[in-house]
Chains A and B, each alone.
Chain A
């Protein structure tokens, strides 16, 4: 086994050598990926750097010049397959790559928008993705564009031709698995999570050889499950049955459906995990590790270094998948702590020591939180408000309705926040909503009587749901906010030009002053913006790109909220803007 592995390393080295000799400039290297946050001519990773800060050091485009930002081109995704466009584009070697709904990929000339190729993944019948047919982006490595599909495959395409180089089945879509997250590439390995809406799915994080797709290690996220390394057992996750009753750990959930980030300084992968199964917390007393948590994983062998559980014994479907963003916490006494920031669905903004997972601070980033009175900084655990936990099923009566805020769609959902080391602020796309939740004895599943839960999502304010908020990680306080009528569902970008970009379901891409929150610029893209903006520089001009196309979970789950968004039109296009040379 050992031999086989070193043999593969030799092959790998040969392959790298070849790539260099034939297309020295085109190949994306590990170094390119490590430097992505610093380099301004390309965007080669999800998060614009593996730490996920979504910060660009470019400053030609700034609070003064942003008024001159003008459309460069728009690329239409075409056909009737519209729905949510949640992707983050990538830019390399003069090409822009973007994934689209229904597991499609487009490559275009980054300057002119002229399409180079399009890849339409053939989706089988019977896939059942839970929350729209979105895709959140790909990863670049060597000559490959790697992305995951709704039928739970990982596909590597040739960057120049769009032809499939390798394809690996991550999981069986027939068992309820699918995938929409952007993979990341760390040390030549493509790292992914899994998603699955059905019961019986157990989350895991996996590393594959980025050039071949061959599995290297797998790390399940629920205690009791065996991990693997090079096809051999590699230790059980946690301690079997420590925080679960009976055999429920076998089907415990904790799906890693949003992918993860990586920090080279601590050599750790950070992957968030979803809610535990079954949904009703009364049926599974215990913390239910490692659901609704973040796991720090060693990329060399897939072992868990530490964990922090955002919502132990999650009873609200809060998930814990939101991104964990590494940053330097500059304290008032001049010390710098290697920290990480995270805005959870549960409404708290957390700062952890990323070397050991110890809680440094946790404060609300939304105005109303009912499930907990606070997070105890000594124990790191929530102070629950037990009266606000949804009730136990089993009764024939419609249980008392509990009003819970945030709603299960979260104070912040999947849409990635950004961190600006210049302002030392996090920019969080937040939503103010709650839910009425009750036990619903009159429900059916697969034609059989069932004890379900009923819920209605409700806005907390008449005039807005969304609020882009600047959070100070040192104080945990909200520094500024920019309200939005519809819920925010798109990612955030911040730049050294003192700017913050994000999109709105109403169709605008907007730019804000990073220090004050003043709205400086907006552009109507024609459909809701729920994708992630990026910026880069080419031939002396700064570009900004964002996908446009309304969709995602809100129109599917929105309850009363759905009313406020029902007139938004779908779409499917990539908008690219630039600051013309003459005006910068």
Chain B
């Protein structure tokens, strides 16, 4: 008797000490909490401002939990070298330094070709289409610039990104000498506002969010990018593959949130253009039996 009490106390202590464990739908309901991993220092999607977790993904995660009738517990995590690492660290295995995993992670690719490579995780609930765009200073490059303007004007990128690699090779390498590398787009945006660079290439959501208060001479607009194979990609939610019920529930809940305009409203509240992930990127949409994307609300 004493032994069992002792053991159950120890077990409870263990569970309390390690709340970050990827659970099934039943477990999520039982604990009343959906734990969510989001990228840290990642405005306008997820960051801490004035001591409070804020951003589009934070709001979507909270709404998603609410839809599932549970509370949200958001953990902001650093990005590793690639998304496979992030998924291993935060969704299906846990980082070897400890800390466990969360039930779901947002801002994850919804891409059939990619999901084939990561069988430990189910990718569901597409809620956004992100795309590459440009922010530029009209005083420097005019209102209708082309890529060619940046063969003579400095352009900023976040280091080690698609935009970085694209520009290093674009126009036979003529732009490479004008690229200014920044650790993040927030710093690139500061440089743009100060006139140190004339443009930025990067994901639209990030640029719109970071430059939401911008002078009239800074414009955000897509440019023709010859040779750029992928200029958009769908974002969804990753769930540990064994937790199929949870994946289904999250998928269904998000589909409703996209349909009833909840997601769109969240984007608008953050002053971002909303593009629904109507379908997976065409370049990679090959598997017919993939989870059907929910009908998008235009």
Chain A residues at the B interface, C-beta cutoff of 8 Å: 83, 123, 125-129, 132-133, 175, 197, 199-200, 245-248, 250-251, 277-278, 280, 282-284, 392-396, 441-452
B39 at the interface (CB under 8 A from A): yes
Instruction: List which B181-208 residues lie within 8 A (CB) of chain A.
Output: 181, 183, 203
> Given A83-B96, A446-B42, A450-B82: A199 and B159 within 8 A (CB)?
yes
By the criterion CB–CB under 8 Å, are B161 and A442 in contact?
no
Interface hit among B65-73, B105-113, B213-221, B246-254: B105-113
Q: Number of B residues whose C-beta is below 8 Å from A?
A: 45
Of B99, B162, B178, which is within 8 A of A448 by CB? B162
Identify which of B225-233, B267-275, B288-296 touches chain A. Answer: B225-233
B81 within 8 A of A: yes
Task: Give Cα A351–Cα B79 distance, bound, in whole angstroms.
Answer: 41
Interface members, chain B 127-169 (any A CB < 8 Å): 130, 159-162, 164-166, 168-169
Q: Does B47 contact A (CB under 8 A)?
A: no
Other A-B pairs, 13, CB within 8 Å; known A442-B114, A447-B107: A123-B97, A245-B173, A278-B160, A280-B165, A396-B229, A441-B230, A442-B284, A444-B109, A444-B111, A446-B39, A446-B83, A448-B162, A449-B230
Please give the distance in Å from A325's CB to the nearest CB on chain B: 32
Residue ranges of B at the interface with A (Cβ–Cβ < 8 Å): 39, 42, 78-83, 86, 96-97, 99, 107-109, 111, 113-114, 117, 130, 159-162, 164-166, 168-169, 173, 176-181, 183, 203, 227, 229-230, 233, 235, 283-284
Instruction: Please state if B176 and A448 are interface contacts (CB–CB under 8 Å).
Output: no
Among A248, A395, A442, A452, the one with the most B-chain Cβ atoms within 10 Å of its Cβ is A442
Main DSSP-derived SS at the A contact region: loop
Nearest Cβ on chain A to B254's Cβ, whole angstroms: 16
* A-B contacts, 16 listed (Cβ < 8 Å): A129-B97, A199-B159, A200-B159, A246-B176, A277-B160, A393-B169, A395-B229, A441-B229, A442-B284, A444-B114, A445-B82, A445-B160, A446-B42, A446-B83, A447-B108, A449-B109
Chain A residue with the shortest CB-CB distance to B177: A246
Q: How close is A395's CB to chain B, nearest CB, in angstroms?
A: 7
Q: Find B283's partner among A199, A247, A396 (CB 8 Å cutoff).
A: A396
Q: Which residues of chain B have C-beta atoms less than 8 A from A284's C-beta?
A: 168
> What residues of A have a CB within 8 angstroms of the CB of B230 in the complex?
396, 441, 449
| Pick from B82, B176, B181: contact of A452, CB under 8 Å | B82
Among B81, B166, B183, point to the contact of A445 (Cβ < 8 A): B81
B229 near A445 with CB under 8 A, answer no
- Give complex CA distance A447, B83 in Å: 6
Note all chain B residues with C-beta closer than 8 A to A246.
Answer: 168, 176-179
Best-buried of B80, B86, B108, B181 by chain A (most CB within 10 Å): B181
Give the distance to chain A from B262, nearest Cβ to Cβ, in Å: 20
- Which residues of chain A are within 8 angstroms of B235 by Cβ–Cβ distance? 447
Residue from A127, A133, A197, A248 with most neighbouring chain B CB atoms (10 Å): A248
**In whole angstroms, what is the CA distance A393 to B86 when docked?**
22
Residues on the A chain within 8 Å of B114, using CB:
442-444
CB distance from B270 to the nearest CB of A (A): 16
Complex CA distance for A128 and B81, rounded to whole angstroms: 10
Q: Judging by beta carbons under 8 Å apart, are B80 and A450 in contact?
A: no
Query: Which residue of chain B is the closest to A397 with respect to CB atoms?
Result: B229
Q: Are B179 and A283 in contact (CB under 8 A)?
A: no
Residues of chain A within 8 A of B227, CB atoms compared: 394
Question: Are A448 and B96 in contact (CB-based, < 8 A)?
Answer: no
A83 to B98, CA, bound (A): 12
Q: Are B169 and A199 neighbours in the complex by a CB distance under 8 Å? A: no
